[in-house]
Amino acid sequence: MDPSVLVLPETLCLLMVLSVCGCLLLGFPVAFTLAGVSMLFAYIGTFFGVFDLSFLTAFPQRIFAVMTREVLVAVPLFVFMGVMLERSKVAEELLDNMARAFGSVPGGLAFSVSIVGMLLAASTGIVGATVVTMGLLSLPTMLRRGYDKGFACGSIAASGTLGQIIPPSIVLVLLGDQLSAAYQKAQFDMKIFAPDTVSVNDLFAGALLPGLMLVGLYLLYQGIYAVVRPEGTPAVPRDKLAQEGSGSLWPDLVTSLFAPLILIIAVLGSILAGLASPSEAAGVGAIGSLMLAGHRLGRRLGRRPDGSSDGHRDGCKDARHRRTIMTGFFALIALLALGSFFDLRIQRSRIGAMDWAMISLAILLAAVLARGVFAAVRSTYSACDKTDHAGTTGRVSVLEDVGRQTLNITTMVFVILIGASMFSLVFRGYQGDVYIERFLSDLGGGTMGAVLLVMAVMFVLGFFLDFLEIIFIVVPIVAPVLLQMDFGGEPMSPVWLGVMMGINLQASFLTPPFGFALFYLRGVAPNTVRTMDIYRGVLPFVAIQILALFLLWTFPAIATWLPNRIYGG
């Protein structure tokens, strides 16, 4: 008997997906699970005559295609920027000064958490680090001031996940890369052989207004809560806030806001203005974060192992070193501004006198920048912490630790991406994409039913899987099908779909009982905070996320207006 009649390909396809989910839930490494299970089912399918092993010959080309995607260069650079800013205590200083500024208002500490979460999301984009940092710094203060435990935990967890949707975000970089390939495939399937493209720039522009809308909804809820339950959000007397500060409030606040705001303008502004690609802007962000961290850590130069110094001599040395770094940082900003107004390319047939002058100025600024970068490297390499992240005693160089964390995170992302490429290759070898297309097309409710089903599946998967697995596994399978459907009489916008998926993933990170942000916060919360307090506090913010999805569904222009305005289309 022919073995192919015993096992249908769709059955093996479904079993492969269930096997991957089961292995992930058992705690097996993601990348090796994806690749290993896919290889196993490829050989099983070959045995039963329902899979052709020649499909696997395309795998090396897929790996090469992944490694040559220029947009993915932004991933390690954005990771470096986020980790460096987290280690340089930018969040700590921001939270402290924001609390001093708004703490005297009922609910002011919660407002501070949301605003700082927004700024950190736009300058770091690392969800876990943001939730942990704000949980360590803000939660004890809010509890000590008499804030409701649930409200405080919900504000911190929700604000910490804004890095999922507010650009520049690693989630948006990876989601944009996958949507770009899915959009091209959808158009080829529709016999459009001169396809439009969607880029990470488009997704950044599309996510900006929905992200700000989400922050506004958070602040609105916190304001209403403060009015309805003032006993759960007490104001802090101004005299106590003044006693806690170490200097003048407004100069300290402006100084702490300077670093993230300049980075946001330099990185996100250069992308939206068309001056730089995400990879180039990520390079600016990495260098900028290195210099800002070097400036903050410069005080540690010249210190003895016990933390003492030689007084005036070391003070002058530190001040001179930090001036060098800041001069280099301003040179970086000047180079960006110069590049936006003048053509600095040398390989041209004709260069005018003004252009030569600006090119010479750019070379001078580059030399100043290089000197500042060298000083920042020296500061971050010389500055040490007494313990490393494993809790062992020792002196760990900040630059060394940031480099190690960046390498670990980046390696994890790319190894998962390679494993997901094997999974999608075998899945398509079983014609799984055809089965998904038929299922969604035959589903009652048309486009609305298909999108709602996909969103529900992604929402549930977010309880158990990290955003990387969802992006690399689910998006390549369902996005090409959805992007062939009409939405409101027009072709579905890939930017709108990407923003909907991003906010959906963010909501799943908050939803009890398995939301990842809840585990991050539970790990750093005091023992007086119960797990049920965290669950109770995040539920209103989950409702806000669902409201945001409903508003995006009703008014797609919230996501599509800005990219159309900037890039046309």
pLDDT of residue 307: 46
Answer whether 120's CB lies under 8 Å from 91's CB. Answer: yes
In the predicted model, is pLDDT for residue 396 greater than 70?
no
In the predicted model, is pLDDT for residue 240 greater than 80?
no
Least confident of 3-7, 130-134, 251-255, 330-334: 3-7
Conformation bin of residue 17: beta by default, left when phi > 0, alpha when psi is -120 to 50 = alpha
In the predicted model, is pLDDT for residue 359 greater than 60?
yes
Q: Which of 217-226, 326-335, 432-441 has the highest mean pLDDT?
A: 217-226
d(C-alpha 483, C-alpha 187), whole Å: 8
Q: What is the mean pLDDT of the chain?
A: 80
Least confident of 82-86, 209-213, 255-259: 255-259
In the predicted model, is pLDDT for residue 418 greater than 80?
yes
Q: What is the mean pLDDT of residues 25-52?
A: 84
In the predicted model, is pLDDT for residue 315 greater than 60?
no
DSSP 375: H
What SS3 state is found at 351?
A: coil
* Higher pLDDT pick, 436 / 510: 510
pLDDT band at 131 (very low <50, low <70, confident <90, very high): confident
Tens-digit pLDDT profile for residues 366-395: 999 999 999 888 888 876 655 444 444 455
pLDDT of residue 469: 75
Least confident of 114-123, 294-303, 538-547: 294-303
In the predicted model, is pLDDT for residue 213 greater than 90?
yes
Share of the chain above pLDDT 90, in %: 13
Closest CA to 529 of 195, 242, 144: 144
DSSP alpha helices (H): ranges in 48-145? 59-67, 74-87, 90-102, 108-123, 127-137, 139-144
Other residues' Cβ atoms within 10 Å of the Cβ of residue 334: 16
pLDDT of residue 387: 46
Q: What is the mean pLDDT of residues 545-555?
A: 93
Least confident of 305-309, 318-322, 474-478, 513-517: 305-309
Rg (Cα) of the chain, in Å, rounded?
25
Q: Which of 111-115, 241-245, 296-300, 498-502 has the highest mean pLDDT?
A: 498-502
pLDDT band at 238 (very low <50, low <70, confident <90, very high): low
Share of the chain above pLDDT 70, in %: 86
- For 434, counting Cβ atoms within 10 Å of its Cβ (0-12 exposed, 13-18 middle, 19+ buried), the class is middle
Pairing mode of beta strands 486-487, 490-491: antiparallel
Least confident of 195-209, 295-309, 324-338: 295-309
- 148-187 residues labelled b (16+ CB within 10 A) or e (exposed): bbbbbbbbbbbbbbbbbbbbbbbbbbbbbbbbbbbbbbbb
In the predicted model, is pLDDT for residue 90 greater than 90?
no
pLDDT of residue 417: 81
Q: Which of 10-14, 190-194, 403-407 has the highest mean pLDDT?
A: 403-407
Closest CA to 74 of 174, 166, 162, 161: 174
In the predicted model, is pLDDT for residue 364 greater than 70?
yes
pLDDT of residue 125: 59
Q: Which of 12-21, 23-32, 207-216 has the highest mean pLDDT?
A: 207-216
Global pTM? 0.80
In the predicted model, is pLDDT for residue 304 greater than 50?
no
pLDDT of residue 23: 83
Least confident of 298-302, 318-322, 371-375, 408-412: 298-302
Answer whether 297's CB lies under 8 Å from 233's CB. Answer: no
pLDDT of residue 519: 77
pLDDT of residue 374: 92
pLDDT of residue 386: 52
Task: Write 406-411 long-range contacts (CB < 8 A, 24+).
Answer: 406/76, 406/79, 406/80, 406/83, 409/79, 409/83, 410/75, 410/76, 410/79
* Higher pLDDT pick, 138 / 246: 138
* Higher pLDDT pick, 126 / 405: 405
In the predicted model, is pLDDT for residue 129 greater than 80?
no
Q: Which residue has the tokens 């990495």?
A: 286
